[in-house]
Amino acid sequence: MGNGFKNAYSYPWFKVYYNGWLHGSIRAQLTSAERGVWADFLALAAESRYRGVICLGKNQPIPHIYLAASLNITVEELESTIKKCCEDVGDSGIPRLSIDEYGCLVVNNFLSYQESPPKNDNHEVTPEQKEGIARKVTQKFHREHLEESKFHVGQVEAEHEQKQ
């Protein structure tokens, strides 16, 4: 929760599957406001020292009044979203959220959805990663450019035949 220190266990990102977000059960089961709170839960779970668990510290839940205030929502909105996320079964077959024996919020399956962290501790892209990214971008450009060229050549040939 914005604790001001660099968390050795967190990363500057978390992964969201856009297809599930746009077309999955979350779209039907949660309102747009609740989906916003859910996205905040994912960010808090990513930031947490205990990745996937929304808490102040080990076995220390965040009081709902404090959590709601930090998310700029009412306690009622927070508790309604928590209740729904604990009851609704997502595409994985288990509830999105659970509350552990201490009262901490646990984003179920959080870690299984996340990719491995960057290879270095500074979260910087290594030269090898840059090279791989550049190669993929170049290949994509050439594929797209080639398709455009084929279309353009076909179009020119068709126009030429029509003129004759």
| pLDDT tens, position by position, 35-88 | 999 999 999 999 998 989 999 999 999 999 999 999 999 999 999 999 999 997
78 alpha carbon, distance to own chain's centre: 20
| Widest CA span in the chain | 82
Average pLDDT over residues 19-26: 85
The residue among 156 and 40 whose pLDDT is bigger is 40
Domain extents in the chain: 18-113, 125-164
Three-state DSSP class for residue 127: helix
Comparing 1-5, 46-50, 82-86, 140-144, which segment has the lowest mean pLDDT?
1-5
Q: Give the count of beta carbons closer than 10 Å to the beta carbon of residue 64.
A: 15
| CATH no. of 18-113 | 1.10.10.10
